[in-house]
Amino acid sequence: MVAYAPSLKDDDFKQKVGQFSCTQYIPDKSIAITGTSTGLLVIWESDKQRVKGENSETPYKRATKLIPLHQKGITFLTTTACHPYGKCIVTGDSSGQVKFFDCNFMLLFWYQDLKFGPVNCVSFATTSLFTEKNKSSFTESIKGKAYPTCATIGAEPFIIEDFIVSTSSAFMISVTVEGGLKKIILREHDSDVNGLTTHPVLNHVATCSHSGLVKIYDYESKLVVTMKSFGLNNPIQSCVYDKTGQYIAVGFMSGYLRVLDSLTLNEMTSEPFTYGKGPITHIDFSYCNNYCAYADSAFTTTLLLRSNTHECENSWCYVARVRAHNRRITDLLFWTLTESKRSRLFTLSEDRTLAEYDLYNARKHSLPVIARYQVEQLAKPLCLSMPPLSCYKEEFFFISNSASKIKLYNTSTLMCRKTVSSFPQGIEYTKVLPLISQKTNSCYFMVCLSKERLGLIMLPLDGDPLKYTNIIAHPSNGRGVGQAQGLAIDRNGLYAFTAGGPDTCVHMWTLNPTVLEKTVNIAGCMKRRFYDFLSRDFLEEMKDYFYYSMIRTQGICCMDERKTSFTIPITEIPFVMRAIGFYPTEAEVENMINEIKYSRFCDTGEYTTEIDLDTFIQLYCNHRPFQGILYKDVESAFNILTNANVGNKDKCAELSNSHETIIQEKPTITMEELFLTLQNSGEAIGEAEMSEYMAILWGILPEGDRQEILEEIDPKKIEKELESRMSTPINAETFVSDILQMYVYGEDNLSAGHSKELLSKKIQQTDTSLLDELVSNGKYAANSTQTE
């Protein structure tokens, strides 16, 4: 095989050629033709200077001519049989036109009304009219038939096979040449598929996309039930069936919401609801189908009420719209009380709050907000979901966050009752749905979706890694976009559906939770798997602190006979956690204590006041950050503090709510400014407590808790030492290395602009042989602990 790639420049013909799109050989000739993005046809003939007596079948070609065939770019090129010219050249362009030329490039016929997007392919019927068998009777067979005429002086009948045109706008059009009949035989989504919902009664799944198309499939027969296009100027963001399957609500990028009949897709209101000020991101119906609520990208929530009067022209009417958040709303949910069947409306937002609305006191243009609960401090909450019915004895809902955690909240007290890690570590579940329990299953499950992965989790949640399984559903890194947007489960819990967003794909997955259940049951003791998360040295260190905590509770200086025990009071949890290098906030400490305190309350009616070592290790593995303390996070915090102290509160809020780290040129603040910020922002620290902490960090006071410090303390001396250091400017580097006495390692943890000298200097100050080995080999684990 010999290949040759001739060059062609704009200067060769004093004309812009454009990019090559497709190439075809002309039958029975040694001429090749190439279509370009400027609508030109390049003619390639044998290069006689290079052939030198060889036969005409040679790869050495040169461009001899440019012929303008289209005003738009040529996207497709082929040849086909044609009467009366034997063969003709077929071209398609980016405007949707299809043209036919003879082998001398004279126009024979064209279809200019196929305006369904750029032509990708033209495929002709395989049952040819021009076979040798039909040649004798061909003239008789075309008599009386309405074939079009050629665009020539002779105006001969233009006869070719029927064909199908496919376009990049996801259309397939069947063209019958006789009579000029054109029919759309297939239309699919050609842009982001974000909306996905399943019918609660029928085997229907509905999809919607930015192409303005709503399409409903029967997922058992794999057939299209119905579809409706709202036009390319009305891109759709979301869609949801109501609880009975009578209606389907469709949310548009324009902020409009339409309520459609679920079978015919006819509108049930005379006009769409136009109260949204941005794309409709979330829609939900109440359990009794009396209410419909939707959230938009302008951080507002709108409530609709179903009309009970048959005389009313509209089935749904507007009630009120309210803005309860100052950041993007990540989820919206109607919660129904099991006993009374009364509904509660919640919205979750990136401002780290959960808002509850008063449905039963809502009136025209007024939707009261009952309360806003802070559910996160640093992580961003991503989704809100309820567990399967009868899974828990109490009523809970789940919140997944950006820290790779899933939290369980009591619906009555809004208290965090459980926190578990997601697996694999670092995964962020953006959609979580309960799986309808099948008769063959004795357990309950949840289906979860991240940007790439579809996961199945066995309940109840306890952090056991064996209870998690997942598969890459929408890959990234060159194999795909990795931006999954939609998740739905069929009414029987047999299938899961995922929408890939920009990849325009909808995948249907068969669920078999029995396999996961058997795997967990066979595996045996769960506590052993939490031990496997820890190294042997770290485990021994944890045991030492745990047993030392027992001594603390009985008194360090106690000379009486000590009572041996296998537990410590739950009030000791924060001290042991901080001793082993995990520094939870006060809210996280409260969550950990409540998790243990109420762990058996529903069964026994009593609080749990002690915790054993096995339970403590499980608690630690579930609550600890999966990637340790990052130096760039400390640096980002100093950026926020610097902007706060110079009065730029808007910039401070922007930085604190952004996922990105904005690096400044080593921002510094004084110790006095740091004191004031820590005493007045977030979880405020009292002046006396703050002074004690800083005195210990600076070495003025010995390490340990108050009850462990045996020597006398001179308060005046401490106060004088602290005041002398108040004006000292500090930055992220000095704060970590000089005050906290932590040493950064890992090249990935240093933000842009830091030199390798800083990295080497800090590693040399660390006495850990493992780190020296990592540095010498040039390897740094991205998800390992980042400080010592």
In which order are the strands placed within the sheet that holds 280-285? 280-285, 291-296, 300-306, 316-323
* 424 upstream amide cis, omega within 30 of 0: yes
What's the average model confidence in pLDDT over 459-484? 90
In the chain, count of helices (H) and strands (E)? 17, 42
CA distance 84 to 407: 74
3-state SS, residue 448: strand
Assess whether pLDDT exceeds 90 at residue 304. yes
User: Of the candidates 751, 739, 412, 748, which has an alpha carbon nearest to the alpha carbon of residue 602?
Assistant: 412
Evaluate whether 92 touches 70 at the Cβ level (below 8 Å). Answer: no
Query: What angle, 0 to 180 degrees and rounded to 10, lies between the N-to-C axes of helices 671-680 and 687-697?
Result: 140
Looking at 533-668, list the stretches that DSSP marks H as alpha helix, in order from N- to C-terminal side: 536-554, 573-579, 586-597, 601-604, 613-623, 631-645, 649-656
Predicted confidence band of residue 720 (pLDDT cuts 50, 70, 90): confident
Assess whether pLDDT exceeds 60 at residue 780. no
CA distance 372 to 355: 4
Assess whether pLDDT exceeds 70 at residue 752. no
In which order are the strands placed within the sheet that holds 74-82? 74-82, 86-93, 98-101, 107-111
Please return the burial class of 510, using the count of CB atoms within 10 Å of its CB with bins 0-12, 13-18 and 19+.
Answer: exposed
Higher pLDDT, 743 or 290: 290
DSSP letter, residue 556: T
- Residues linked to residue 152 through DSSP beta bridges, in sequence order: none
Evaluate whether 76 touches 121 at the Cβ level (below 8 Å). Answer: yes
What's the average model confidence in pLDDT over 362-371? 94
The string of DSSP codes covering 115-139 is: -SSSEEEEEE-SS-S-SGGGSTTHH
pLDDT of residue 765: 32
User: Could you tell me what percent of the chain has a pLDDT over 90?
Assistant: 55
pLDDT in tens, 487-537: 999 999 999 999 999 999 999 999 999 999 999 999 878 888 999 989 999
CA distance 670 to 641: 11
CA distance 39 to 1: 31
CA distance 639 to 666: 9
User: Of the candidates 395, 394, 383, which has an alpha carbon nearest to the alpha carbon of residue 449?
Assistant: 383
Predicted confidence band of residue 741 (pLDDT cuts 50, 70, 90): confident
Spatial neighbors of 341 by CB under 8 A, at least 6 apart, are: 287, 288
Assess whether pLDDT exceeds 90 at residue 781. no
Output b/e per residue, 524-557; b: 16+ Cβ within 10 A. Answer: eebeebbeebbeeeeeeebeebbeebbebeeeee
pLDDT of residue 537: 92
Evaluate whether 329 touches 349 at the Cβ level (below 8 Å). Answer: yes
Global pTM value: 0.84
Residue 400 has a CB neighbour count (10 Å cut-off) of 28
CA distance 605 to 589: 23
Evaluate whether 216 touches 260 at the Cβ level (below 8 Å). Answer: no
User: Of the candidates 435, 534, 447, which has an alpha carbon nearest to the alpha carbon of residue 493?
Assistant: 435
User: Of the candidates 292, 293, 299, which has an alpha carbon nearest to the alpha carbon of residue 278?
Assistant: 299
pLDDT in tens, 590-624: 999 999 999 999 888 899 999 999 999 999 999 99
Higher pLDDT, 559 or 324: 324
Question: Which tokens belong to 325?
Answer: 């958040």
CA distance 256 to 246: 20
Q: Identify residue 115 by its one-letter amino acid code.
A: K
Assess whether pLDDT exceeds 70 at residue 63. yes
Assess whether pLDDT exceeds 60 at residue 339. yes
Assess whether pLDDT exceeds 60 at residue 711. no
Assess whether pLDDT exceeds 80 at residue 627. no
pLDDT in tens, 658-710: 544 444 457 788 888 888 888 888 888 888 888 888 888 887 777 665 555 55
Which helix (H) or strand (E) is 67 found in, with range? strand 61-68
Q: Identify residue 692 by its one-letter amino acid code.
A: E
Q: Which of these ranges, 74-88, 305-319, 342-356, has the smallest mean pLDDT?
A: 305-319
CA angle, 484 then 783 then 425, to 5°: 45
What's the average model confidence in pLDDT over 271-289? 94
- Average pLDDT of the chain, as a whole number: 84
CA angle, 175 then 176 then 177, to 5°: 105
User: Of the candidates 712, 774, 710, which has an alpha carbon nearest to the alpha carbon of residue 745?
Assistant: 774
CA distance 376 to 421: 15
Domains and CATH numbers, the chain: 10-187 (2.130.10.10), 240-467+508-523 (2.130.10.10), 527-623 (1.10.238.10), 631-777 (no CATH)
CA distance 648 to 701: 36
pLDDT in tens, 82-122: 888 888 999 999 999 999 999 989 999 999 888 899 999 99
Evaluate whether 488 touches 473 at the Cβ level (below 8 Å). Answer: no
pLDDT in tens, 220-239: 999 999 999 998 899 999 99
C-alpha of 550 from chain center = 45
